[in-house]
Chain A
Amino acid sequence: MTVHARGYRAYAGALGGPPAWWVVFRANVEALAATRAMRVMNTLLLLLACGVGVLLYVQVGLGERIFARGMRGDDPARLLLDHRLALLTALRVYYTSASVVIVLLSILTGAGLVADDLRARALTLIMVRPVRPLDYALGKALVMPWFVLTRAALPGLAMWLLVGAWQAPGQTQAFWEAASDVPGVIASFSLLAAGAYPGLVLLISSATPRRGVASGLAAAVLFGGLVVRGIGLHVSGLQGEAFRLASLSTNALAPVLEAHWRAREAFGRRDWLLERVPSIPAAAWLAAGLLLLGFLRVWWRARSVEVSE
């Protein structure tokens, strides 16, 4: 028999540690963060946020000092409303573009979340340990929402804070009060996106052991939803409303679009968007339902694991 330098040792310490769902969650976050696709997406989102931030600074900080004050006069209330609109416009631009990246992120990385475990039969190795199916499902179900939440909420909140910081001396607090609804808008977008995409992706990922099939299905559903929504724009009534809910990316954008529309309305500007935006409560129910379904599907998969062929 081969003798190895680092041999087997008895372990005298206690077995315990953090909850199993946290171990599953953390290991998956670390593994996904190390993938090339995730690095590319992170870079894209960072560049996007920086680009929008620079434009916002030009409009609110630098531009304000050069042009707007002279044109508008010194009405501070008007100035705050103007800056609030600029912030919401920037958020709309960022979230509309980020949605595309987040959809790609979900398709390229999230689709393998459970599918890869099924292909590798890793569930057998996991479930023969002191792990409940609930732990596995919860750990998996939180991975994509965490990625989406951080990439949606943090840049938005940073913009809100920065616009406040770029105000004239003494106006920072006043701006944050005038735009106190914006963090809620950011949270709404983030939660809707963090529920809907990951829920759908979990549902699909746990249905097949083939990552390619899972990615293809996720892409078909996410992009197919846009087509169905397009049809829904020409259909009235409840049926049209249901069709318009098919696009998860537009659903997530609904709070941002609505807040932006209302901010424009304060300046007497109108556009066609509000009537076409899906109902936010319906979008929230859909997102929550998808996440719950995805979670239950993964839980069921973990519960039905078999140790032998």
Chain B
Amino acid sequence: MSVVSIRSLTKAYGRRPPALRNVSVEVPEGVTGLLGPNGAGKSTLLQCVLGLLRGFEGEVRVLGVDARTQPREARRRMGFMPEHDAWMPAMNGVQAVAFLGRLSGLPRNEALRRAHDVLHHVGLGEAVYRPVVEYSTGMRQRFKLAQALVHDPALVFLDEPTSGLDPAGRDEMLALIDDLARQHRKHVVWSSHVLPEVQRSADQVVVMHQGEVRGLFPIKDLAPLPGTFLLEVEGHGPAFADEASRRGFTLQPRGSEDEGPRRSFTARIEPARAPEAVALLLAAAAAGGARVRRVEPVVEDLESVFHRLLSGEGRPA
């Protein structure tokens, strides 16, 4: 079943070229990454799905509800976390989330109870009675996620949820998104420019460009790159790289040097020479004082597929 169904959606602002051109897409259940460069039409698409824009052609259904004719009913079933900073003036965290929960139709006492619960869930338990205006950037991101969840929507739209967060904050936000999707069975549509994060957490990806949908594909369909392998070694990484290059391999380091004793490299290996190559690499590792922990085919990363789709070369292999 698709959680968002869009058929022949076209939206133009005045006499300018259409922001969306005949967009048709069926967003499946699970976590969906909505990708596209600036001006791709993602925001216009979100506005149409949220029922905030009128005057568009085509049909938009959210969880089976027509977003044009029943926008309020559609919005009752979804939550939205905006990218930009947003808070409720003159309210503390729990007052703000409870107020927004009331607007979504929660009874007064339930809104207050759920406001406490979701704020604790997103890690703002210590700050529920502090004015939102005093929250740090990371806390505001969490607050925005909490307000999107307060009425327990089946579908949540997240617009750049990790924007402005430090690495630890990003990891926690990604963990929260994973938790929402896996533990609480929420469908998540996630607009982002950070492709590795999307690749890590999303089930599928929609790529938009110039007002069109250029592709929708499951992350698991990202194909292995033929002849490219990932090597993970423990021990003296640079010495291993030197020894391997003496044996005719060109190793490309991956990741940073802060990853502890393990180092990762990619290497080109002809499939026909694979058994011989593995033996040579093991020998290089032994000579360089390192141990090979993992050898596996490298999967094409989302970024390269994304750029291929933008250039009109088609879906992943």
Near B by CB (< 8 A), chain A positions 48-95 give none
State whether A6 and B43 are in contact (beta carbons under 8 Å apart), knowing that A20-B103, A121-B84 are contacts in the complex. Answer: no
Could you say which residues of chain B place their CB within 8 Å of the CB of A308? 42-43, 46-47, 82-84, 159
Interface segment out of the listed B87-95, B192-200, B210-218: B87-95
B89 close to A112 (CB less than 8 A): yes
Q: Is A220 an interface residue (CB 8 A)?
A: no
B149 close to A122 (CB less than 8 A): no
Could you say which residues of chain B place their CB within 8 Å of the CB of A2? 123, 172
Q: Which of A14, A16, A31, A307 has the most CB of B within 10 A?
A: A307
> In the complex, what's the smallest C-beta–C-beta distance from B256 to chain A, in angstroms?
23
CB-nearest residue of chain B relative to A303?
Answer: B52
B-contact bits for A15-29, CB 8 A (1 contact / 0 none): 111001001100100
* Interface of B (DSSP majority class): helix
Chain B interface size, as a band, is 35 or more
CB-nearest residue of chain B relative to A14?
Answer: B105
Q: Whole-angstrom distance between the alpha carbons of A23 and B151 in the complex?
A: 15
Q: Which of B84, B90, B133 contacts A309 (CB 8 A)?
A: B84
Q: Whole-angstrom distance between the alpha carbons of A265 and B84 in the complex?
A: 64
Q: Which of A6, A24, A127 has the most CB of B within 10 A?
A: A6
Could you say which residues of chain B place their CB within 8 Å of the CB of A132? 72
Could you say which residues of chain B place their CB within 8 Å of the CB of A122? 86-89
B-contact bits for A96-127, CB 8 A (1 contact / 0 none): 00000000000000001000110111101111
CB-nearest residue of chain A relative to B82?
Answer: A124
CB-nearest residue of chain B relative to A136?
Answer: B103
Q: Which of A27, A128, A131 has the most CB of B within 10 A?
A: A128
Q: Is B100 an interface residue (CB 8 A)?
A: yes
B133 close to A120 (CB less than 8 A): yes
A130 close to B105 (CB less than 8 A): yes
Could you say which residues of chain B place their CB within 8 Å of the CB of A31? 90-91
A13 close to B46 (CB less than 8 A): no
Q: Whole-angstrom distance between the alpha carbons of A92 and B295 in the complex?
A: 91
Q: Whole-angstrom distance between the alpha carbons of A308 and B43 in the complex?
A: 6
Q: Which of A5, A7, A116, A128 contacts B52 (CB 8 A)?
A: A128
Q: Is A11 an interface residue (CB 8 A)?
A: yes
CB-nearest residue of chain A relative to B90?
Answer: A31
Q: Which of A8, A128, A307 contacts B118 (CB 8 A)?
A: A8
Could you say which residues of chain A place their CB within 8 Å of the CB of B61? none
> In the complex, what's the smallest C-beta–C-beta distance from A114 to chain B, in angstroms?
10
CB-nearest residue of chain B relative to A305?
Answer: B52
Q: Which of B47, B89, B107, B180 contacts A119 (CB 8 A)?
A: B89
Q: Is B240 an interface residue (CB 8 A)?
A: no
Q: Whole-angstrom distance between the alpha carbons of A15 and B43 in the complex?
A: 27
A5 close to B90 (CB less than 8 A): no
Q: Is B120 an interface residue (CB 8 A)?
A: yes
Could you say which residues of chain A place their CB within 8 Å of the CB of B236? none
> In the complex, what's the smallest C-beta–C-beta distance from A279 to chain B, in angstroms?
39
Q: Is B134 an interface residue (CB 8 A)?
A: no
> In the complex, what's the smallest C-beta–C-beta distance from B248 to chain A, in angstroms?
44
Q: Is A35 an interface residue (CB 8 A)?
A: yes
Q: Whole-angstrom distance between the alpha carbons of A263 and B113 in the complex?
A: 58
Q: Is B27 an interface residue (CB 8 A)?
A: no
> In the complex, what's the smallest C-beta–C-beta distance from A201 to chain B, in angstroms?
16
The 9 closest A-B pairs by CB, nearest first: A15-B105, A308-B43, A130-B72, A6-B120, A11-B152, A116-B89, A1-B175, A121-B86, A128-B80
Show 9 A/B contacts (Cβ-Cβ < 8 Å), sorted by A. A2-B172, A4-B123, A11-B110, A13-B106, A120-B86, A121-B82, A125-B86, A128-B82, A307-B50
Known: A7-B117, A116-B89. 6 other contacts (CB 8 A): A4-B123, A9-B152, A11-B106, A23-B99, A122-B88, A308-B159
